[in-house]
Amino acid sequence: AAAGGAQISELMPEETAKQQGYTISAAVGIAGYYNTLIHPFLHTPIRAMLFYQGESESNPQNCGQYGKDLEEFVKALRTKWGSSFKFYNVQLSSHGKISYDYWPRIGELRAAQFEAINHIPDYYLAAALDCGFQEGDPDFAHPLYKKAPGQRLARLVLSAEYGLLDMEYAASPHPVSAQWKENCVQIGFRYVGDGLKIFGECAHLIGFQIEKNGERKDAAARITGKNMVEVFCDDEAEAVCYGMQQLAGPDIANLSNSENLPSPAFRLERKQAFTP
C-alpha cells in the first residue's frame, strides 16, 4: 500500500492514535489509512512488513513523539494480526534544500528510527542516507533512487527470514557500544563484514557531530579498527551523532562496511546505556 504524505496517526488503529493523544490529522483523519489500506488485510497471514514513512513527522511538533508512536504502531499491528511478524523499516534519506522548510527535524527523525531498535522486538533498519535527493533531480520530495534501499531490504529479509545470508554481511554497520574518554568517544560497531571503511570521494571520515547544550557541531573522527571509530570531543560533550545533518549524502556522511552498506544515522547520549 502507498499513501503519499501519510502521518503515522493515519496508519494506526483509531484506539492507538487516541491513546497517543491524536484527535485530528492533516489529510484523512486519524486511522484513515489504517481503515482503508491495512484493516482489510488483517485476515491475510503475513510474515513481515516493509515500511517507509516519517517525513510528515519531521517537524518540531511531532518529532519528539515519533519514537513512541512507531513503537505503539508496530505493537498494535502485531496485536491485530495476532502475529509477531518482523518489521523492516527504511531510514529516511535526504531531500532538497527546500526540506529545511518542510522537514526541519529530519535528522532527529532518523535518530528516532534507529533508537527504535532498542524498543521494538524483531525490528530491522535499512540505511538510505546515500539514496536521497541529488542536485538537478526534478522532485525534491520523493527520492528517485529506490533500487538500493530495495536491495538492502532484500538482504535483511534473506538473512533474517530465510538464513541465506550472514547478518554480519547483510546489514549496515550498527553501533553497539560507546566508551567515553577524556578527549574522545570510542564507538564499537557490529555488522561490519570484513571491516569498516570510508565510501564516496572524500578521503577522510565525515558525518560525525558532537552535541552540547542542544547544538550539534561537526567533529573529527577516524576508523581505528575493524569495528571501531574514534570521535574527538571534550568532556562536556553530551552526545555523539552521525548522519543527522539535514542533507546527509556520501559527501556529508561516509561510513560503511566492507559490503558498501552505509551506516544509518544515530545519536548516542553520554549517559545512555547503549546495548541494542
pLDDT per residue over 41-99, tens digit each?
A: 999 999 999 999 999 999 999 999 999 999 999 999 999 999 999 999 999 999 988 88
**Where exactly are the structural domains of the chain?**
8-168, 173-269
- Residue 274: pLDDT band (50, 70, 90) is low
Across residues 149-155, what is the average pLDDT?
98
Half-sphere exposure of 106 (CA within 13 A, CB side): 26
- The helix/strand/coil state of 196 is coil
Across residues 32-47, what is the average pLDDT?
97
DSSP state of 82: T
User: In which element (H, E) is residue 273 found?
Assistant: none
Percent of the chain scored above 70 by pLDDT?
Answer: 99
Which class in CATH covers the domain with range 8-168?
A: alpha beta
Across residues 11-20, what is the average pLDDT?
98
The confidence score (pLDDT) of residue 108 equals 98
Model confidence at 276: pLDDT above 90: no
Cell numbers representing residue 194 in the block: 570484513
Across residues 204-210, what is the average pLDDT?
98
Model confidence at 122: pLDDT above 80: yes
The answer to whether 243 and 207 have CB atoms below 8 angstroms apart is yes
User: CA 38 → CA 22, 71, 110, 253, distances in Å?
Assistant: 19, 17, 24, 35
The amino acid at residue 56 is S
Across residues 130-135, what is the average pLDDT?
91
Give this prediction's pTM: 0.95
The mean predicted confidence, pLDDT, of the chain is 95
71 CB contacts (<8 Å, ≥6 apart)? 116, 119, 120
Model confidence at 272: pLDDT above 90: no
